[in-house]
């Protein structure tokens, strides 16, 4: 596997290699895990394993032959050619591998959430530009504008239509839907039949950080592979390798919580949602709730679900902050999730009544659940800010 940090997704890697070795590869996978933990890269590595073609012939057709050859004759000299030998990933140098990495291989089809133009709802969105960006910057988001991001039914149909034909290059067609939690319900329904009965030469990989946002009928048709947060040292090494200067003030990798995407954002100046969460927290505990409610009023209505996205992000950050206060109040030596805010969080913990941290945490968890159930955001914010007040001294 070329991407070193993926080596630390040991469990996911083992399960994928078992699936590849088992003879019959499941028709659909669901890669589940937080943003920035290597799900999409693993999907590409899986596609490389099946399509790596150093000698011109796809590996998928060579599994049997290569296994018997290697067991009879030892190293046949093919170990650096990317032929599958129980290790996930291709050779990274052949024409097929290079095009998969660049998102230009005709049989590795990748779709991601894109803005839906109101003028042409029936047309599939063209992901070429966004994917070209992703090929260069796997852990950054392309600036594609618009908040109404989704994978629509037209995108799914454009892909499933191709299933009737054999793969262009004779290997295995791998269809990857990134951030599948943003696939519209009708699009998910349109995908069901293909997930259940894909042609022999095709398989699906859906990646998501919120599997609960997918229809249970979609989830049940996929083999789920979990990706956990990456280890601290992996993130430090990766940041160094990518040329980032590590902050001396705070442990950037600890703040990243196992996500390379988060690590980049922090290294480059912070995470807007966390700044917002910190601001809200300080307003509420300083008794300046009207300020917080004013913020809420500006973040309650936004077309295309943008306000929901903001609410999820900000509440996730508030969750980690209140969790840290609870940890401090409990006198636990568990590491803080926001170690750079140590002083502030300790002063909140010391000033508030005992148990206020846990109660605040519970209130944030409840609010977070309500956002997912599309409860009115103004109501959520109002009652949450009220529930956070005991954090103030």
Judged by beta carbon, residue 82 or residue 113, the one nearer Zn ion is 82
Query: In the numeric block, which tokens belong to residue 273?
Result: 């949602």
Applying CB under 5 A, the residues found at the interface with Zn ion are 52, 82, 90-91, 94, 97
90 vs 198, beta carbon nearer Zn ion: 90
Report the residue number, 82 or 152, with the smaller CB distance to Zn ion. Answer: 82
Classify residue 253 by burial, with Cβ atoms within 10 Å: 0-12, 13-18, 19+.
buried
Q: Name the minimum Å distance from CB 198 to Zn ion.
A: 23
Q: How far is the CB of 139 from Zn ion (least distance, A)?
A: 23
Residue 93 Cβ, how far from Zn ion at the closest point, in Å?
A: 6
Min separation Cβ 102 and Zn ion, Å: 13
Residue closer to Zn ion by CB (options 95, 193) is 95
Query: Shortest approach of Zn ion to residue 40 CB, angstroms?
Result: 18
Q: Which is nearer to Zn ion, 176 or 260 (CB)?
A: 176
- The least CB distance from residue 106 to Zn ion, in Å, is 15
Which long-range contacts (C-beta less than 8 Å, at least 24 apart) are formed by 294-300?
Answer: 296/377, 296/378, 296/381, 296/382, 296/385, 297/378, 299/377, 299/381, 300/377, 300/378, 300/381
Q: Which is nearer to Zn ion, 90 or 113 (CB)?
A: 90
Q: Rounded to the nearest whole angstrom, what is the least distance from the CB of residue 82 to Zn ion in the complex?
A: 4
Check if the beta carbon of residue 117 is closer than 8 Å to that of residue 123.
yes
Query: Which of 52/176 has CB closer to Zn ion?
Result: 52
Comparison of 38 and 54: residue with beta carbon closer to Zn ion: 54
CB of 86 to Zn ion, least distance (A): 16
């Amino acid at each position: 596997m070329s991407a070193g940090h993926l080596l630390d997704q040991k469990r996911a890697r083992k399960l994928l290699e078992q699936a590849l070795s088992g003879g019959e590869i499941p028709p659909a996978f669901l890669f589940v895990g937080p943003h920035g933990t290597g799900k999409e890269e693993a999907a590409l590595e899986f596609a490389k394993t099946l399509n790596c073609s150093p000698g011109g012939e796809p590996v998928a057709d060579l599994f049997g032959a290569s296994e018997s050859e290697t067991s009879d004759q030892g190293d046949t000299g093919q170990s650096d050619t990317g032929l599958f030998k129980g290790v996930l990933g291709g050779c990274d140098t052949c024409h097929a591998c290079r095009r998969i990495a660049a998102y230009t291989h005709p049989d590795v089809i990748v779709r991601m959430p894109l803005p839906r133009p109101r003028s042409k709802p029936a047309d599939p969105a063209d992901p070429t530009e966004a994917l070209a960006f992703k090929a260069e910057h796997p852990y950054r988001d392309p600036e594609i504008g618009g908040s109404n991001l989704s994978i629509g039914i037209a995108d799914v149909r454009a892909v499933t239509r191709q299933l009737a034909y054999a793969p262009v290059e004779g290997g295995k067609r791998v269809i990857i839907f990134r951030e599948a939690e943003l696939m519209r319900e009708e699009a998910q329904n349109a995908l069901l039949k293909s997930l259940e009965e894909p042609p022999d030469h095709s398989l699906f990989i859906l990646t998501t950080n919120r599997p609960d946002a997918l229809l249970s009928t979609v989830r049940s048709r996929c083999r789920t592979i979990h990706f956990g947060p990456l280890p601290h040292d992996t993130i430090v090494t990766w940041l160094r390798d990518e040329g980032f200067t590590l902050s001396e003030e705070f442990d950037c990798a600890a703040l990243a919580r196992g996500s390379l995407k988060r690590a980049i954002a922090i290294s480059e100046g912070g995470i807007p949602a966390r700044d917002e969460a910190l601001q809200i927290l300080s307003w509420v505990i300083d008794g300046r709730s009207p300020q917080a409610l004013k913020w809420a009023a500006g973040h309650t209505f936004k077309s295309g679900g943008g306000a929901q996205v903001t609410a999820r992000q900000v509440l996730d950050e508030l969750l980690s902050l209140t969790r840290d206060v609870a940890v401090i109040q409990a006198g636990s030596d568990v590491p803080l999730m926001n170690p750079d805010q140590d002083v502030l969080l300790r002063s909140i913990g010391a000033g508030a009544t005992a148990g206020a941290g846990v109660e605040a945490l519970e209130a944030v968890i409840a609010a977070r659940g309500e956002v997912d159930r599309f409860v009115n955001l103004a109501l959520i914010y109002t009652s949450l800010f009220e529930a956070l007040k005991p954090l103030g001294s």
